[in-house]
Structure 1
Amino acid sequence: MEIIGPVIVAGITTGALYALATLGLSLVWGSLGMLNMAHGTLLTLGGYAAFTAASQLGLPVPLAVLAAAAVGGAIGALIFMLVAYPLSRRSPETFETTIMIATFGVALTLENTVLRLYGGQPLGQPLSVGGSINLGGFVLPWQNLVIIVSAIALMGATALFLTRTRAGRAIRATAQNPDAAKLTGVPVARVYLQVLILSGMLAGVCGVLVSSITQLSPSLGADPMLKAFIMCVVAGLGNLPGAIITSFGLAIVEALVQFLAGARWGFPALLAIVILVLIRRPGGLFGRVEVRRL
């Protein structure tokens, strides 16, 4: 237990971060049908926003985290108003392709902006908790516990928002059938704006949590973005509960593989799982199968 315990804790911590990153990405895909290639950059901006608020402005931790969420949400809103909405109106037939290319350009622009403002030198995130607790023979760092609890709380709050509020029900209705939702009076464009704001806020806070156990750099969000995409594919694009379950499961598998075979084998193991899943279930583990009559 003394050996395997820390591995499981590391897997759960990583899974919480993967799940939070995946939640925003999957939410946008399921609602708008777009792959937001700038999602990882929103994590980066959130981390730097919290760093600036805490270390340069002297704001307390809660306000610094709120600043990260606000920056992520604001950039998400701008992506919708300046990129996604115009493209969806101009070329709806090719929207999925053009929005992927456009948001990739946005990601490069934002990453280079961060590089110019803060430089390429890694920075330490001041929003971290020191110390640890002893649980049954293995040590659990307080920072890991903060990450796990924070991620679960945010995912729970998002679930309550989507199921218990009018705006959340409008998002779910639009994701299921945007045309029918529009006929019933749902303002679809406003719903899409709300989705990108929510996704950006989640990404911003996720960036704070990721940078609290790593370091701030302009490419901070690249790895979480890649892993979030893998989780979405394995779970089934747009399936929120499946994406969260998959994130925790694959993160624990990755941690065990890294422990048993070495750190370099963690990512290849994830890719192997993706290939096997796509061969057996092209729609993902939790994807719905569509039956069409010929």
Structure 2
Amino acid sequence: MEVIVQVIASGLTLGAMYAVAAVGLALVYGALGMLNIAHGAILTFGGYAAFYVITSLGLPMVAGVAAAVAAGALLGLAIYVVLVHGMLSAPAFETNIFIATFGIGMALENVVLKLFGAYPAAQPLALDGAVAVFDVFIPVRNIAILVAGVLLMVATAWLLTRTQTGNAIRATAQNRAAAELMGVRVRWIYAQVLAISGALAGVSGIMVSSLTNLSPTMGGDPMLKAFIVCVVAGLGNVYGAMIAAIALGLVEATAQYLLGVRFGLATLLVLVILTLIWRPHGLFGRTQVQRL
């Protein structure tokens, strides 16, 4: 029983963490049709923003979270202003933006390296202590990540379905031309989508660094896991990404327990291959892609 509780707790923690990162990635692809390769670097920047505000400025933890959200949102807006706005009408937009965001991601990693150095640092937002569940001690930080992940998923679903902005995002994703005819300011919606995605990445940076450590290259692994989640769910499917993230988190935790830590990622990659063979458009995707 203890082993089952431990595996489930670990899997749900991983799933919640992957969900926050994957939802931001899926949201951008669903609305704009672009894969933001800089997503992992924005995640890293958010983690370090919280670290700087708490350790260097001496502000409380709430300010650290706000700094991570603000840093991520501003970087998302910057990507829209610097890259997307000018490239959006180009014939090869998806290819061009893929390459451009890859370059932006590398640049952001080097900025973090220059500002904070290459040595790992502990995330001050990582909570200490543990809670006993069926004789298994679950770290408080894991519980906090799970709760935060669920709240952010609920908030994202509410935003997309219950607000005017969410309706505009879904309308733009389904048919940009029709949305423009209805008076939707499509480019402003794109900017908001990238800002929301960046804010989610910033929070995800806190989650990742709470479980591991801060480092300039820490965004690579969660970016890969978020991409795996999106492929399995179906690129651009936000709700599918939420479900797939939790499921894959549980699968990874189970594989790590049964086969060893080294086989966690390998198991996920095998699942991606099987998904692409069986359902090329993802488990929740359709033959004709309907984003969001």
Question: Shorter-normalised TM-score: what interval?
Answer: over 0.9
Mapped to 1, the partners of 2:9 and 2:19 lie a distance apart of 15
Q: Identify the residue that residue 168 of structure 2 maps to in structure 1.
A: 170
Deviation (angstroms), 1:175 = 0.8
Deviation (angstroms), 1:4 = 2.2
Q: Identify the residue that residue 109 of structure 1 maps to in structure 2.
A: 107
What is the CA RMSD across the aligned residues, in angstroms? Answer: 1.0
Does the CA-based 8 Å contact 2:5-2:134 persist in structure 1? Answer: no
Q: Identify the residue that residue 122 of structure 1 maps to in structure 2.
A: 120
TM-score with structure 1 length normalisation? 0.97
Secondary structure in 2 matching 1:129: coil
Q: Identify the residue that residue 61 of structure 1 maps to in structure 2.
A: 61
Structure 1 runs (4+) deviating above 6 angstroms are none
Q: Identify the residue that residue 46 of structure 1 maps to in structure 2.
A: 46
Q: Identify the residue that residue 22 of structure 1 maps to in structure 2.
A: 22
The sequence identity of aligned pairs, in percent, is 54
Mapped to 1, the partners of 2:5 and 2:133 lie a distance apart of 9
Matched, 1:290 2:285: no
TM-score with structure 2 length normalisation? 0.97
Q: Which runs of 5+ in 2 are unaligned?
A: none
Q: Identify the residue that residue 200 of structure 1 maps to in structure 2.
A: 198
State the AA in 2 paired with 1:2: E
Mapped to 2, the partners of 1:128 and 1:267 lie a distance apart of 24
Deviation (angstroms), 1:215 = 0.3
State the AA in 2 paired with 1:196: L
Secondary structure in 1 matching 2:132: strand
Mapped to 1, the partners of 2:27 and 2:265 lie a distance apart of 24
Mapped to 2, the partners of 1:157 and 1:290 lie a distance apart of 28
State the AA in 1 paired with 2:147: V
Please list, as runs of the form range in 1=range in 2, the aligned pairs for 1:186-225 lying within 5 A after superposition: 186-225=184-223
Secondary structure in 1 matching 2:287: coil
Q: Identify the residue that residue 100 of structure 1 maps to in structure 2.
A: 98
Cα deviation code 1:143-182 (max 9, x no counterpart): 1110000111111111111111111110111111111101
Mapped to 1, the partners of 2:59 and 2:166 lie a distance apart of 31
Deviation (angstroms), 1:290 = 3.0
Secondary structure in 1 matching 2:262: helix
Mapped to 2, the partners of 1:135 and 1:258 lie a distance apart of 21
Q: Identify the residue that residue 33 of structure 2 maps to in structure 1.
A: 33
State the AA in 1 paired with 2:46: G
Q: Identify the residue that residue 9 of structure 1 maps to in structure 2.
A: 9
Does the CA-based 8 Å contact 2:53-2:67 persist in structure 1? Answer: yes
Deviation (angstroms), 1:134 = 1.0
Mapped to 2, the partners of 1:167 and 1:214 lie a distance apart of 35
Mapped to 2, the partners of 1:177 and 1:11 lie a distance apart of 37
Mapped to 1, the partners of 2:248 and 2:192 lie a distance apart of 29
Mapped to 2, the partners of 1:290 and 1:71 lie a distance apart of 35
Correspondence for 2:277 among 272, 279, 286:
279
Secondary structure in 2 matching 1:114: helix
Q: Identify the residue that residue 230 of structure 1 maps to in structure 2.
A: 228
Deviation (angstroms), 1:289 = 2.2
Deviation (angstroms), 1:220 = 1.2
Q: Identify the residue that residue 83 of structure 2 maps to in structure 1.
A: 83
Secondary structure in 2 matching 1:215: coil
